[in-house]
Amino acid sequence: MMAFVLDVLSWVLLTLGGISVLIGGIGALRMPDLFTRMHAASVTDSLGAILVLTGIMLQAGLSLATIKLAAILLFLLLTSPTASNALASAAMLAGNKPGIDTASDGGGAT
Amino acid sequence: MTIIFGIFLLTLLLITAVAIVQTKNLFVAVMLMGIASLLIAANFFLLDAADVALTEAAVGAGVSTVLFLGALALTSEHERAPTSRAVLSFVVVTAAALIVIYATFDKPRFGAPDAPTQTHVAPWYLEKTPEYIDIPNVVTAVLGSFRGYDTLGEVFVVFTAGIGVLFVLAGGSGGRRAARSAANVGLSQHLIPRVVGRLLIPFIVLFGLYVQFHGEYGPGGGFQAGAIIAAAVILFALLEGEGKALNVIPRSVLLGLVAGGAILYGAVGVAGMLLGGNFLDYSVLADDPVKGQQLGIILIEAGVGSTVTGVLLSIFHAFAARDR
């Protein structure tokens, strides 16, 4: 019974994680400018990674694999926001200022 | 399932390759090459080649991207317009592609049990590794002991490549130190990358050492570990400035690592000869042949790791110290 509940929970988490990754991907393609795209892509990095990795951890049970997955999750949570920060400041330095551009409707083209 | 994933990854790889050829922006091309390396690494892992996957991910996607960016900083970001040889190169590339595609018809089916890979020396390696060397990772046994000559050759190729790059980049230009002030600052103005980077560097080095010394038991070895440790030091150089990284590991130490690793590898081989065996025969290094083999593999892997770390860091510093 316990195993069944854990299995269902893990698949729910994996599905939600997959959906967040998909949303992040669509957002990264459809959003109008760099900063909003990064915002969309961060859904993949943060929510998607957490949900998918937690789902796999529940599948793996209490084993060495779970500890490795937890370490991966920890490193992802440290590195991906840092990478986003570095990317955003690099974009700012390159003169790409965030702002509302009402003229373009986006559509994925830069 | 493996086949579906493999075809998916290879399709992405093909798209990435076309995009690399298409783009005129070299910065984009470098980023796409990193993605291509990561895709091929995932594909290697699907085929159960964990050692190769680790190498490809560490060297292809990690260090070589940084080295390409370092080279890009010395040149323009945009590709020069091609000269008029387009037709000729198109013909050559098409002919080569057709020959390669024709050659694949003779290859055995994917995973065929009667393929030469499965029937030639591989069964012997799998059967004899527990008896002769007694380590779980047969890849390390093949790389370090059975095919020790090939690996020695690889180490000397890496060594020669490093020396060559140093000659080309360090020679000639007089004002090598002029651009140092800009490179010395690093990212010290940017707090978040700096703090997180400094937090991660010890763990990256630790992981590199694990990959180095766990190579007999799991995927890993000198090549991967060298790339990982070099990546950690390059990260330090990017965060704190190249000068500080050179204070930590000076050029003389780097050259010592480059030459010392290759010499260590060769010396293990010569030691085998002096103790009465053949060149690179580790069995004579200890009283027990199996222990001797294990000792030999650990020593030559240390040599490989040292040379790879030294060469990668030397190339990085050679790029970083160049005048813009």
User: CB distance from B200 to chain A under 8 Å?
Assistant: yes
Q: Would the CB atoms of A85 and B199 count as touching at under 8 Å? A: no
Residue A107 has pLDDT above 70, yes or no: no
Task: Report the residue of chain B nearest A79, measured CA to CA.
Answer: B196
Mutation target to probe the A interface, by most A beta carbons within 10 A, among B27, B196, B198, B239 is B196
Q: Would you call A82 and B192 a contact, using CB atoms and an 8 Å cutoff?
A: yes
pTM listed for this prediction: 0.84
Torsion angle of the four alpha carbons B109, B113, B119, B121, in this order, in degrees rounded to the nearest 10: 90
Amino acid letter, B127: E
- Per DSSP, what are the bridge partners of residue B78? B25
| Window 76-105 of A, Cβ < 8 Å to B | 78-79, 82, 85-86, 89
| B-interface mutation test, from A64, A77, A82, A93, most B Cβ less than 10 A away | A82
CA B58/CA B51 separation, integer angstroms: 11
Return the number of other C-beta atoms located less than 10 Å from residue B166's C-beta: 19
Query: From the list A78, A79, A89, which residue is nearest B190 (CB)?
Result: A89
Above 50 in pLDDT, residue A110?
no
* pLDDT score of B10: 93
Q: Is the pLDDT of residue A104 over 70?
A: no
pLDDT band at A106 (very low <50, low <70, confident <90, very high): very low
pLDDT tens for chain B, 324 residues long, are 888 999 999 999 999 999 998 888 999 999 999 999 999 999 999 988 888 999 999 888 888 998 888 888 888 878 777 666 778 888 999 999 999 999 988 888 877 888 887 888 888 888 888 888 888 888 888 888 888 899 999 999 999 999 998 888 875 444 444 444 445 566 667 788 888 888 999 999 999 999 998 888 888 888 999 999 999 999 898 888 888 888 888 888 998 999 999 999 999 989 888 888 888 888 888 888 888 888 888 999 999 999 999 999 998 888 887 755
CA distance B190 to chain A (A): 8
> Given an 8 Å threshold on Cβ–Cβ distance, is A79 in contact with B193?
no
The predicted structure's pLDDT at residue B186 = 63
If you measure CA to CA, which chain A residue comes closest to B193?
A: A82
Q: Which residues of B touch A78 (CB under 8 A)?
A: 196, 199-200
ipTM score: 0.76
How many Cβ pairs within 8 Å bridge chains A and B? 18
Residue of B nearest to A83 (CA): B193
B270 reaches A (C-beta below 8 A): no
* Bridge partner list, B25: B78
- Asked if B210 and B153 count as a contact pair (C-beta separation under 8 A), the reply is no
Q: Which residues of B touch A86 (CB under 8 A)?
A: 190, 192-193
Whether residues A86 and B190 touch (CB distance < 8 A) is answered with yes
What's the CA gap between B166 and B173, in Å, rounded?
12
Predicted confidence at residue B171, as pLDDT, reads 56
Which one of B193, B199, B203 has the shortest CB-CB distance to A86?
A: B193
User: In chain B, whose CA is at the least distance from the CA of A78?
Assistant: B196
Distance from CA of A100 to the nearest CA of B (A): 26
In this prediction, residue A17 has a pLDDT band, given cuts at 50, 70 and 90, of: very high
* Residue A15 touches chain B, beta carbons under 8 Å: no
Tell me if residue A60 falls in helix, strand or coil: helix
- In chain B, which residue's Cα lies nearest the Cα of A75? B200
The chain A residue lying nearest B203, using CA atoms, is A75
On whether any CB of chain A is under 8 Å from the CB of B248, the answer is no
